[in-house]
């Protein structure tokens, strides 16, 4: 299940996605903002696959650590954990991630810095 795959995340982001400022950003209540931005759906997938490095702001708090990527997880598990993130709050009517979508993203691997550049391109509220 998605909750089982999320075991890989909770050491940093917390069992309920509450985060651990100023090191690890919260996901609960926050991923909805990422998903609401144009390109946010793809960004979330890229973060989980390839990780993230570079300063970000989450709810007024700066974070500047390194998140490892999870490209070693099977497509199915990546989709499950992304869909688990949707239970932390998501815009109405968002379709679930599919393993096919994850597989397609593997065609162009990104560095954690490139994932950061993608985030910089999002127009976040
Ligand atoms: C950032 C999800 C595992 C540390 C993020 C972000 C997401 C995310 C969506 C981006 C937040 C944003 O752009 O506003 C996940 C998921 C994980 C996972 C789903 C499991 C599959 C981990 C682990 C660690 C970690 C294990 C610690 C070793 C971080 C850090 C950032 C971050 C430090 C901010 C990076 C920076 O400062 O640039 N995570 N994460 N994450 N995550 Fe994770």
**Domains of the chain by range and CATH?**
2-120 (1.10.760.10)
69-108 residue pLDDT tens: 999 999 999 999 999 999 999 888 899 999 999 999 999 9
Over 90: is that where the pLDDT of 125 sits? no
10-31 residue pLDDT tens: 999 999 999 999 999 999 999 9
ipTM above 0.95, yes or no: yes
State in Å: Cα 25 to ligand 1 middle.
7
Average pLDDT over residues 33-55: 97
9 lines ligand 1 (CB under 6 A): yes
4 Cβ contact list (under 8 Å, min separation 6): 80
Q: What would the 3-class secondary structure string for 59-95 be? A: CCEEECCEECCCCCCCHHHHHHHHHHHHCCCCCCCCC
Q: How far is CA 103 from CA 2, 70, 71, 76, 99, in A?
A: 17, 13, 10, 9, 6
Q: From atom 18 of ligand 1, which residue's Cα is the shortest distance away? A: 9
Say whether pTM exceeds 0.95. Answer: yes
Distance, CA of 117 to CA of 119 (rounded, Å) = 5
The percent of residues above 90 in pLDDT, for the chain, comes to 95
12 lines ligand 1 (CB under 6 A): yes
As a whole number, the mean pLDDT across the chain is 97
């Amino acid at each position: 299940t998605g909750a089982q795959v999320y075991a890989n995340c909770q050491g940093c982001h917390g069992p309920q996605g509450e985060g651990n400022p100023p090191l690890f950003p919260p996901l609960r209540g926050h991923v909805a903002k990422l998903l609401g931005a144009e390109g946010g759906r793809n960004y979330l997938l890229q973060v989980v696959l390839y990780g993230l490095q570079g300063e970000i702001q989450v709810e007024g708090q700066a974070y500047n650590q390194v998140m490892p990527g999870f490209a070693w997880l099977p497509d199915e598990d990546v989709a499950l954990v992304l869909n688990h993130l949707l239970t932390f709050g998501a815009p109405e009517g968002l379709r679930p991630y599919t393993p096919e979508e994850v597989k397609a993203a593997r065609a162009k691997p990104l560095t954690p810095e490139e994932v950061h550049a993608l985030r910089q391109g999002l127009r976040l509220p």
